A and B are shown apart, each in its own frame.
Chain A
Amino acid sequence: MDVIVCVKKVPDTAEADVSVGAGGREINKERLTFAINEWDNYAVEEAIRLKEEDEGTVTVVTVGGKDKEDILRRSLAMGADKAIRLDMEDPEDSFVLANVLYTLIKDQKFDLVLFGAQSGDFNSGVTGVMVARMLGISHAAMVNGIEVLDGRTKTSRELEGGLNEIYEIKLPALFTIQTGINEPRYVSISGIRKARKKELKVMTPADVGVTEVKPMLSLEKMYLPPPGKIAEIIGGSPEEAAAKLASLLKEKGAF
């Protein structure tokens, strides 16, 4: 099985203080650290497991500048065979990005294309599904289990409320991968060094034949949600805060 995985480098914003830049259209990135999108890491691991079970190749793809290559090297060290970086600015709009990825992927050999279910920066969760539509192949989103059958897969996807849905899907297909589908392996620094020998191909938009499409969305303004007026932060020592909270709950009729 030949698998293509699309990966993105995103900032870690879980605990970092995120602030909006002067232009109001971007967050300040200087003090943030960047790594492979968490969902994409699971997708790469899944692709490698599928390859290890069966024959085939894994190709990882990213759209962006040279500073994005470290996530490709890491994926190669994990066990991917080939990497492609499409050297252009990462488009802000998912539709434009989907069009770019479609143009690149359509000329590659593949049985399966994997995306992350969403990216940790904008959490939109649409790119993969749009690419599937453009390629004219079946897709499943939020996939948390893949079993390969003959020319088909048994694919489980996660629904709201803790439900699972299982489909038999004909290959080629495109899945967007949910975290938790596997346990990604550790990639050691010396593993990354050794993977330098593996192929990392840099392509230009002209090589691929990217055509210009009009964005569907444009980012007008970014701002942090203003603090709600009703919220009250209770200060003081844990004992004082607990006493205050208890009396507030009583006052508001919680007991």
Chain B
Amino acid sequence: MMEVEEGNFDEAYDVYACMQCGKCTGSCAVSLRSDLNIRELMRIAILNENGELEKHEEIWDCTSCGICTVRCPRDLKPAEVIVGMRSSLVEGGTIPITVRDALESVGTNNNPWGRPKSKRAEWLEDLDVKVKNISEGEDAEYLLYIGCTASYDPRIQSVSRAAINVLTKLGVDFGILGEEEPCCGSEPRMMGETGLFEMLVEDNLNLFDEFSISKIITLSPHAYNTFVNDYPECAKRLKEDDAEIPDIELEVKHYTQILEELIDDGRLDGEMMNEFSETVIYHDPCYLGKRNNIFEPPRKILNIIPGARCIEFDRREDRSLCCEGGGGRMWAEGTGTGERNSIIRVNDANRDEATVIAVACPFCLSTLEDARATAGYEETMRVMDIFEILDEVLK
């Protein structure tokens, strides 16, 4: 990713290689219900018409699901071209007000939710178990990185508490950063705030170094993705610019990968659980699936739960339907009309007679919970994070 001055899209993204085949638009998660047409935006990039980007409000509709990049036959990165376009809008200062406020909040409060830093650890209050706080000098093998949404959103906070209960029960040696936990920068990066992302990478790597953190478990696939795929490249670039970046290698895992390891080591199995008499359908998050090819671990966990009848969506794994929660969409309404993907998703689950939609991402949980209420499935269906399911069934 680099900052795009007017006229250098080609250098940054090799856009002249685009043959306008339209496979990107054909696979786009939102093009059916919004003006977003990624092939058209590629053409704008090719023709260098990026002085007119303000007119293309739909640039903010992209959920950064990444499927266009996965499917481009020319190995281009159309999803990154959108980030570049947003970046030039951010530099010009004319961006949707809600996006502006989210970015300003990251700058002042270290979270995009406009909530004070001093309340980041409030979700801990209802918890019975004692958690190590690495920022207070306690040692732990892993940092459990909670993330902004699971720290502040009342519905998602329950996942953070479930994570603590489950990991404690399973004897994982972990700690948190509490109020000192920073924004990982994934959403600011996707909203095009390159400079802010770089600042977060520099600050966060120094923070991890200060507390000797090298192994991280994330709740969110978005945090996982940015730590694994964006941090190393960004750190390298910053070092070349003489920024003070510590030499640390991070070993980052999404929590479903850690749970899979515990299963493989014989430390987690069905005998440790009560019956879960539900029909469970798993929704692949884009940032775990499409972007990182992690399909197996969540399924492996669900499959060992006694009593659970695991079924699959027709659109699953790398064809999973994006919930529209990523890419800054939590803070941008979007121009789209018609049925939201999350509604289509809960309707599909209902048709398949699922009683629980299992998710592994805070944004998926948030969008699908909303859709479940809107579509009227409050009595018949639950949307649960895998950590919440385990918290419920573990003896």
Q: Which residues of A contact B (CB under 8 A)?
A: 12, 15-17, 31-35, 78, 183, 185-193
Contacts and interface: CB of A to CB of B under 8 A. Distances in A.
Given A31-B118, A33-B117, A186 B95 contact: yes
A190 B194 contact: yes
A46 to B, nearest CB: 14
Given A33-B109, A35-B108, A183-B97, A189 B118 contact: no
A190 B3 contact: yes
- Chain B, interface size category, equals 20 to 34
Interface in B240-268: none
B94 interface: yes
Contact of B116 (A12, A78, A188, A193): A12
A241 to B, nearest CB: 16
A186 B90 contact: yes
A186 B99 CA distance: 9
Where chain B touches its partner, the secondary structure class is helix
Interface string B92-131: 1111010110011001110000011111000000000000
A127 B296 CA distance: 64
A36 to B, nearest CB: 10
Contacts of A17: 118
Nearest to B198: A189
A49 to B, nearest CB: 12
Contact of A33 (B91, B103, B108): B108
Contacts of A12: 108-109, 116
Contact of A188 (B108, B115, B195): B195
B91 A191 contact: yes
8 contacts: A31-B117, A32-B116, A35-B108, A185-B92, A186-B104, A188-B93, A190-B3, A190-B194
Given A15-B119, A187-B93, 4 more contacts: A12-B108, A188-B195, A189-B193, A189-B195
B394 interface: no
A34 B107 CA distance: 11
A7 to B, nearest CB: 16
